[in-house]
Structure 1
């Protein structure tokens, strides 16, 4: 697929949520700093395991993409609040990896930018790899996997010891086989191509609140100590139990001491299961960029990137401020009229099948596929309540051209137009069911409309008069609770089902969040 891409700015979506009143002494904290002390969503939507670093005069972030592609979005900000997508680490999969692109860590050093990442090895298990570039926006060159343990290796983080020697910190994924989860450290050569020496265990899941795992370690050195901020327990899904703890040591290789008052970050009124992030310093103050599920959007919107200030306590630990939680309500709009020659960076697709797309003359052309619900591209959702519209161009003997709420390749609910008929369908575990049809007749364009409430109540309608009036089709409340995969959130997007000689045509797509 050609690189049909353009940047979009998340600044209009990263609402400051500044409605809380300050609990600080008069004149002590600016309005922006006050907002950051409370959990503030700065990158709304599905951005798990966020990582951030200052490079030059700007901040750069990335996040897990899992089985959505391209892998690892690259976002830029001047203030840690407003973010703009600048590209991706991988638009083509590394030769050694096939899926589960997790937990990237962005780490600049000596004029280069390194991305330590996790991916599933072909005919193997999860491994920690590394890629590098001369500048944060890339292009990135992959150096392959650094460590691939039998039970899996994930969540790589680079750190230098007190003597300046470079180490890779990572988790052995023992919980995948009902075993403990050691956090390891091992020397890494300066070329970032191989581990050297012997690995040493720093700590493992041995506290009751940590349950079956510790993971997502990021480190910061301050004063006499190295601090490891880590996540524990269940990361994902509606039954998640994630929390954040801290351990400290005067030497990188330990001994490590866990804080007796762990966890230091837990569920709050509007956010649950907080964890797996990166500390960052700005203007002499310390912040943590991490993910959490919103209580309202939950698994349907996904783990969103939050920013929060922390401080080092007098007794040598880390504490997050516990101000009143501000009201959080994401609302925003996205519209794509396909007037550029490049596809917007807002679009994703399956890591298992790269779509064939052309964008030209104000139209998106998507080559059809015959299986399941065809080929597709999807956009992140930002709220559990939203509407999406797609203007499709009917063709004689054309493919099923549609709009869908997408979980993955085997699970979706959508509406499609073909040969004058509009049909609502449901795909669960690869099996399709028709939920209703309507006759739209011969028309030059059909506007398909999806309405979603509470993340999972879905209904569809269509218009043949440029969106002036809509006719419902199918069930008025289709249950989509089965759609989200365990580790990621839904997308809403465009579909094309038919023979590979057929091409679906779309004039526009729009998404309106926060009904």
Structure 2
């Protein structure tokens, strides 16, 4: 009896094991728990990096951003972890021949081993257009193919997607809000090489809900689980009165059936950031989705510009995405902005220097000095030569060291809080004087001045201090230690253009043949 019991127990055990094994093979396995999202400290792109677009290539990431009225056009950035970014180049070093300004919204895209940038620019003698450039690798060089679409009201914010039949499409915004009209998003087939439109355009979305206000724009499309998702921005993008937000719509087909998320906007302002929007989606190597977009810091406001932020996307059981629980931009706050210093000892300008579009100065580097000269048509302009850096904080001190030994009568050398060619504040050394100047709406005035201090080595230190991004004080020193105020406080809220932050600029000009040597520039956030 005991031996039979042992045999029976073994048989029962074997049947149990077979049932368990059968169950394991017939039941679907529990999907793995996704890893937590990256820990992000925002902004990941500190400074003026509006309308950021990002793609992943293998295990690396590439991003581009608006340059607007500054050149070179469309900064190009690289990252290996999606959080830490390095400026590596610009899409265009000079303006595409067909265009004359408004370099906005470069949308990076990749398709079948090819790389694209769809960008906005103003056509000479015409409207705003969406154009395309291509490259064989994401780092470039990019070959421009010119405009794809130039509607009378203006065409901006191009994006690339393949439809449910694998046909390549361009999606873009018609700029109706520029004339108080509704704004429409259009889709139209592209040639297989992506360089020309074919077929007919079709409207797929428009601004028709109250939060969107006068516009929707900045479309970015992805495919996920049989749906097309279109992320977009709505309402006013820029300036002190902005109220931008992020919305999303979805459809099973590209050209029809779009529905907007009933809880839109999925992102609006909070206590740290305002006017978030115009972004793009990227998946990391672990399959997690992120949204790279811009927003204004509530501390530095419009004076720094629209900075690049990153947040993870959460996908709900209903298939709709949300970002940070609809609590506005997330991540930890960057507590200590990075200082900038250039002593001009390199053989070429370090990346990140900019100049106003169409006014590239002449520069040279030798012996630890930067030589700066205006284009000939701007020689008489005291700030005809502009070489600028964006800022990353509302409170900072900028200092430069000017070689005054080579200044001749009428030649001007200075340090500026620069908005655009018509709006600037600057401290200038000219004809034995150190003077603070204002240019507002193209009109100039001297705010104050003193005799230039005597130098021991032929060099003078100029200092500019910014408070709250919009109040500026200027001082001069012969030794970099003892400072003399030239203009202690000057209000500069008028400086930034509607879509750009204020730059710190080295400036030169005043007379034909003007050429100024600078020893260094330091920008220290406070």
Residue 305 of structure 1 corresponds to 308
Which protein is richer in helix relative to its size?
A: 2
Of 317, 325, 338, the residue aligned with 2:320 is 317
Residue 165 of structure 1 corresponds to 167
Of 409, 412, 415, the residue aligned with 1:400 is 412
CA distance in 2: counterparts of 1:314 and 1:366, whole angstroms: 59
**CA-atom RMSD, angstroms?**
1.5
Residue correspondence of structure 1 range 133-148 to structure 2 within 5 A:
133-148=135-150
SS at match of 1:42: coil
Structure 1 unmatched runs, 5+: 1-26
Question: Is the 8 Å Cα contact of residues 269 and 325 (structure 1) preserved in structure 2?
Answer: no
SS at match of 1:206: coil
Residue correspondence of structure 1 range 278-427 to structure 2 within 5 A:
278-282=280-284, 283-322=286-325, 326-368=332-374, 369-371=379-381, 373-394=383-404, 395-397=406-408, 399-427=411-439
Deviation at 1:146, TM superposition (A): 0.2
Residue 466 of structure 2 corresponds to 452
Deviation at 1:417, TM superposition (A): 1.1
Question: Is the 8 Å Cα contact of residues 88 and 137 (structure 1) preserved in structure 2?
Answer: no
Asked whether 1:469 is paired with 2:482, we answer yes
Change (3 A) 1:219 1:501: same
Question: Is the 8 Å Cα contact of residues 372 and 409 (structure 1) preserved in structure 2?
Answer: no
CA distance in 1: counterparts of 2:119 and 2:85, whole angstroms: 21
Deviation at 1:215, TM superposition (A): 0.4
Question: Is the 8 Å Cα contact of residues 372 and 432 (structure 1) preserved in structure 2?
Answer: no
Residue correspondence of structure 1 range 82-121 to structure 2 within 5 A:
82-121=84-123
CA distance in 2: counterparts of 1:354 and 1:217, whole angstroms: 32
Deviations 1:25-67 (A, max 9, x none): xx9965xx3633xx72100010000000012331000000001
Structure 2 unmatched runs, 5+: 1-32
Deviation at 1:99, TM superposition (A): 0.1
CA distance in 1: counterparts of 2:112 and 2:516, whole angstroms: 48
Question: Is the 8 Å Cα contact of residues 364 and 506 (structure 1) preserved in structure 2?
Answer: yes
CA distance in 1: counterparts of 2:115 and 2:265, whole angstroms: 32
Deviations 1:427-457 (A, max 9, x none): 1111111011112244210010000010011
Structure 1 length-normalised TM = 0.91
SS at match of 1:483: coil
Deviation at 1:360, TM superposition (A): 1.8
Deviation at 1:294, TM superposition (A): 0.5
SS at match of 1:239: coil
SS at match of 1:43: coil
Deviation at 1:396, TM superposition (A): 4.3
Structure 2 length-normalised TM = 0.89
Residue correspondence of structure 1 range 114-263 to structure 2 within 5 A:
114-263=116-265
CA distance in 1: counterparts of 2:407 and 2:474, whole angstroms: 23
Change (3 A) 1:69 1:396: closer
Deviation at 1:326, TM superposition (A): 3.4
Deviations 1:198-237 (A, max 9, x none): 1111110000111110000101111021100000000000
* Greater RCO, 1 or 2 (C-alpha within 8 Å, sep 6+): 1
CA distance in 1: counterparts of 2:88 and 2:115, whole angstroms: 15
The runs of at least 4 consecutive aligned structure 1 residues that moved more than 4 Å come to: 27-30
Deviations 1:170-213 (A, max 9, x none): 00000001111110000000122210011111110000111110
CA distance in 2: counterparts of 1:63 and 1:125, whole angstroms: 21
**Highest CA radius of gyration, 1 or 2?**
2
Number of matched residues?
482
CA distance in 1: counterparts of 2:34 and 2:221, whole angstroms: 28
SS at match of 1:176: helix
Residue 14 of structure 2 corresponds to none
Deviations 1:287-315 (A, max 9, x none): 00000000001100110000000122111
Question: Is the 8 Å Cα contact of residues 159 and 170 (structure 2) preserved in structure 1?
Answer: yes
